[in-house]
């Protein structure tokens, strides 16, 4: 999935925080809702400007970020 079609960053929108294209809904807000266990329908009801594609983009973003951020077991500091 090309998340750049769904997630954007502009210094003139929400101070440059990543938001979903065509909205002012921050990516971190949706990721926090998903982490709290909110289901898709709950999030879409709470943020009617979002689509299912936006939610898929949020999960794709998190998955891509986890690849780079997750330390290996046995690495120093773990």
- Tell me the β-bridge partners of 7: 20
Each residue of 57-69: pLDDT tens digit? 999 999 988 876 6
| Distance (Å) of CA 67 to CA 13, 15, 37, 59, 73 | 28, 27, 22, 13, 14
Cβ atoms within 10 Å, residue 9: 12
**Kind plus residue range of the DSSP H or E element containing 19:** strand 19-20
Each residue of 36-62: pLDDT tens digit? 999 999 999 999 999 999 999 999 999
Q: Identify whether the C-beta of residue 61 lies closer than 8 Å to the C-beta of residue 3.
A: yes
pLDDT for 72 beyond 90: no
* 3-69 CATH, one of 3.10.290.10, 3.30.310.50, 1.10.3720.10, 1.10.10.10: 1.10.10.10
**The pLDDT value given to residue 74:** 64
Domain boundaries, the chain: 3-69
């Amino acid at each position: 999935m090309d998340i750049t079609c769904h997630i954007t960053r502009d210094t003139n929108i929400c101070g440059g925080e990543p938001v979903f294209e065509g909205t002012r809904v921050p990516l971190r807000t949706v990721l926090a809702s998903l982490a709290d266990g909110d289901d898709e329908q709950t999030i879409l009801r709470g943020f009617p400007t979002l689509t299912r594609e936006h939610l898929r983009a949020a999960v794709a973003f998190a998955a891509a970020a986890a690849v780079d951020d997750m330390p290996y077991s046995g690495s120093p500091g773990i």
